[in-house]
Amino acid sequence: MLMPAYNAAATLEAAVASILTQSFGDFELLVVNDGSSDDTGALLDELARRDGRIRVIHQHNQGVVRSLNTLLEQARAPLLARMDADDQCDSERFAKQIAYLQAHPQTGMVATGVLEIAPNGLPFRSVCHPDDPALLASMLAAGRNPVAHGSVMLRRSVLAQLEEPRYRLAAASEDRDLWARLAAISAVGMLCEPLYLLRRGGGSVSFRAAQVRERYLGEVGETEEQIQRIEADLSAAITDADPTAGAQGYDLYLNGKAFYAHGRYGEARACFSALLGDPRWRKRGAAFLALAWLGPLGRGALRGYQRLFSAKARLGCPGLGY
């Protein structure tokens, strides 16, 4: 299990606990503490003292991409799984992914469905893409990413066939780029079960990365020197990005969706009403506020709309949420 951690003290213990309680227990949890300024390093050392399956690497801050490549270089197991320090996973995740890879020897990587968790702690959406390897490969080739990064398990032998560095940023996100290259040399699988609990919110790594990449749209390096510069800039910016810009609206939106999904319409309306004063979230907030006023009828209307017009629904994706 490979986990980069940067200032993750608030969520780290729960993330590690979900790994240590896996039904399949023969693994090593390899964690890179990427120069954290909070208690991440001390907490990791204490967790490693308690459980010998945890190995910690402390380094000066180098950014998420270099941390991921360090993890790949230091890993020793034939199967490599990923996990983010602010997420959790189901206790059967390892066992089910290992069983899948054993049953499909031509598959180099298998991901899982995800259960998305709002900042208020409520699950609000279960998502899984189709499990057809050919369709997954075509989506990746077309620049779409059906794979939740932290949910993957892959064969080290297949990864070894790729050129260094394994993770690259440049013009694409580091995970989508890697999955596309893996799909070109092996099959990619999907377990359509929500075995990965993905925490959403304005403080997440994925949110900071999305903010930073907007600044680099259209900037593609033509020379090796240019590509390395862009990768270094992106990696550092994602680590250092201030999540406050737009984060409050994003958290309100997610919390409102979670309350809405659980039938707590009054609390949902309060969240969506608060979005009306934010130009970036006003339209979306108004739409969901109207649905929240309709209560169960609004939920039924949204599900009907998704069945008719959602690309995921047309592909037969189970677990479509709102």
Percent of the chain with pLDDT over 90: 61
Q: How many structural domains are present in the chain? A: 2
Residue 121 lies in a domain: yes
Position 175 scores a pLDDT of: 86
Q: Which among 199, 220, 255 is the end of a domain?
A: 199
Work out the pLDDT band at 198, boundaries 50, 70, 90.
Answer: very high
Domain extent for 132: 2-199
- Which CATH number fits the domain that encloses residue 52? 3.90.550.10
Position 306 scores a pLDDT of: 57
**192/130: higher pLDDT:** 192
Most confident region among 40-49, 62-71, 200-209, 213-222 by mean pLDDT: 40-49
18 and 110 housed in the same domain: yes
65 and 155 housed in the same domain: yes
Residue 213 lies in a domain: no
- Of 240-254, 256-270, 286-300, minimum mean pLDDT range: 240-254
Mean pLDDT of the chain: 84
Q: pLDDT tens-digit profile of 151-189? A: 999 999 999 999 887 887 654 577 888 998 999 999 999
Look at residue 121 and tell me whether its pLDDT is greater than 50: yes
Mean pLDDT for the stretch of residues 265-285? 94
Residue 218 lies in a domain: no
Position 247 scores a pLDDT of: 80
Residue 232 lies in a domain: no
In SS3 terms, the chain reads as: CEEEECCCHHHHHHHHHHHHCCCCCCCCEEEEEECCCCCHHHHHHHHHHHCCCEEEEEECCCCHHHHHHHHHHHCCCCEEEECCCCCEECCCHHHHHHHHHHHCCCEEEEEEEEEEECCCCCEEEEECCCCCHHHHHHHHHCCCCCCCHHHCEEEHHHHCCCCCCCCCCCCCCHHHHHHHHHHCCCEEEEEEEEEEEEECCCCCHHHHHHHHHHCCCCCCCCCHHHHHHHHHHHHHHHHHCCCCCCHHHHHHHHHHHHHHHCCCHHHHHHHHHHHHHCCCCHHHHHHHHHHHHHCHHHHHHHHHHHHHHCHHHHCCCCCCCC
- Of 187-196, 235-244, 254-263, minimum mean pLDDT range: 235-244
Q: Which among 169, 184, 199 is the end of a domain?
A: 199
Position 220 scores a pLDDT of: 47
Look at residue 62 and tell me whether its pLDDT is greater than 90: no
174 and 298 housed in the same domain: no
Work out the pLDDT band at 303, boundaries 50, 70, 90.
Answer: low
**199/307: higher pLDDT:** 199
128 and 256 housed in the same domain: no
Residue 211 lies in a domain: no
Residue 287 lies in a domain: yes
